[in-house]
Chains A and B, each alone.
Chain A
Amino acid sequence: MRLGLDPLKCVACGLCETVCSLNRDGVLGPMSSSIILHVEDRADYFGLVLKTEGDGLVVARPEGGAEGQGGGSTGPGAKPILLREPCDLCGGDPKCAKVCPTGCITVEG
């Protein structure tokens, strides 16, 4: 099982970040989530970065998906995603896919 990301369907609601932290720590707040929204609001540019166990960082850019290191930093004020725990697929029931309102995040395999 893995998560599929289609960044063009994303509307930047941030629910994926929020439920990831909720599942991991039982709190609301995106700082411990394994998935983060990368936003450049003035240019209306946004996509997702997911830290996985097997594939490292999966960077879902709107101009075309790319996997591997890079991107996704929200600056030194935020906890960099490389320091966070990788996605554990919520033990087999990924909450981010469940809460995503647009089908941007899906469960594959």
Chain B
Amino acid sequence: MFLRNGRTGVLDLSTGESSEHELAEESLTAGSSLELAESLRREHGDAVVLGTGLLTGSLVPAACAGFICSARGVMPLLGYAGVELKLTGFDFIVIKGEPPVPGYVWARDGIAEFVPYEGMSSMDSWARTERIRADQGDRRIQVVAAGPWGDSLRPGSSLAVSHWLGEDDVSTALEFGRRKLLAVAFRGMGELEVSDPEGHLSASLELRSAHASRLGRSAGLASYWEGAGDSGFSSLLHRVVSCFGCPHPCRSFLKVNEDPGHMALTSTEPGYMHFDVPSLGKAVGAGMGFRDATTAFMECAKAGADPSSVLASGATVESVKGALASGSAQAVDRPSATGSFRSLATFEECVGLGLCPRYWAKAGLDIDALSACAEPGLGRPLR
């Protein structure tokens, strides 16, 4: 089986028991991974299902996407979360039931387990991320963390994916909250077999080259959102960062707590990774400068609260802090917001295949060209 693991892990939080199930190759290749995840979710009684696409982790450009499928809809997992999830040895991880005490799910090396950790409830999403990495001894563990807002089932709750907000357009954090699930962490130390390694590499480079003229200059978030071309944004820009396998990154890190040009590792919390276009657009539209927006977003990320929702209380750092302290926010309709991942026409098709919807919306999703690129990896046509 090429580019897949062929296994689903099922974890019952109410008993702590886990099991593995083989997935027939036909079920993995016949339709979208999202359809299969939805069917697993229903089969296991309104579970939360983490999954990856057929091409996640391949050399197809921007094949970084995984997802979380819940009753609230589909949340993409970008950055390194998708590929790390796939390299755990599972194509899907089904999480069902409710544990007696709060804790987190930890998946790696074909093992998925629940770690009870009541003391973690008092931590914010960043502290949870750092605690799990320290306890499990690996800085590259990906942590999808709820914060105090998700735990309290507040409107506008949002999951942070390895510190940053922007992917949880459907408030999946509420599904974590109602299960006493504080975080899901995973590290991919496995490998994926490839039918024709040389052919897959060559085809991927060829496709990437064909995209170049459509993508234009690579400038981080400014390549995808014109608001990031502002001098107030660029004056705070530290570095541009890519998700796994993406040649045209959309992530721009702004430093507000130290000189943006400072490259050494000194401050642990120097700033924020911006790629959440709806929230940044809302902040700027309400008159907030990029420095204040960055500071406010750091606070929102720790709380696990969608900035778009919190900004309804006022567009200043103080008003955001006040709203976070009082727990007041007005949930906004993120999925339809301009610049949200969900608003892109090919969102489901891309995420179901394991591709970044933002990159492919810009490059143009041509299934024939994609298939020619994927076929040497898969050892068969894409469809």
Contact = CB atoms under 8 A, between A and B. Distances in A.
Interface of A: 8, 11-15, 18-19, 21-23, 25-29, 31, 39-46, 61-64, 74-79, 95, 98-99, 101-102
Nearest to B196: A26
Interface in B95-120: 108
A92 B273 CA distance: 38
B137 interface: yes
Contacts of A26: 193-194, 197
Contacts of B130: 42
Contacts of A14: 80, 83, 244-245
B249 A11 contact: yes
B249 A29 contact: no
Contacts of A102: 218
A77 B134 CA distance: 11
A61 to B, nearest CB: 8
B246 to A, nearest CB: 6
Contact of B271 (A19, A29, A44, A64): A44
A42 B270 CA distance: 8
A78 B239 contact: no
A13 B188 contact: no
Contacts of B242: 11-13, 101
A42 B268 contact: yes
Contact of A29 (B136, B141, B188, B273): B188
Interface of B: 3, 57-59, 80, 83, 87, 108, 126, 129-130, 133, 136-141, 162-163, 187-194, 197, 200-201, 204-205, 208, 218, 238-249, 253, 255, 263-265, 267-271, 273
Given A18-B245, A28-B194, A77-B108, A43 B269 contact: yes
Which 4 residue pairs across A and B have the least CB separation, nearest first?
A: A29-B191, A75-B138, A101-B247, A77-B138
Contact of B192 (A27, A46, A64, A75): A27
Contact of A31 (B163, B189, B270): B189
A80 B63 CA distance: 26
Nearest to A11: B242
Given A11-B242, A29-B57, A75-B140, 11 more contacts: A13-B249, A14-B83, A22-B194, A22-B197, A26-B193, A42-B268, A44-B270, A45-B265, A75-B133, A78-B138, A102-B218
B201 A77 contact: no
A79 B3 CA distance: 22
Contact of A77 (B189, B265, B268, B271): B189
A11 B130 CA distance: 22
A63 B197 contact: no
Contacts of A101: 208, 218, 242, 247-248
B265 A23 contact: no
Nearest to B188: A29
B57 A75 contact: no
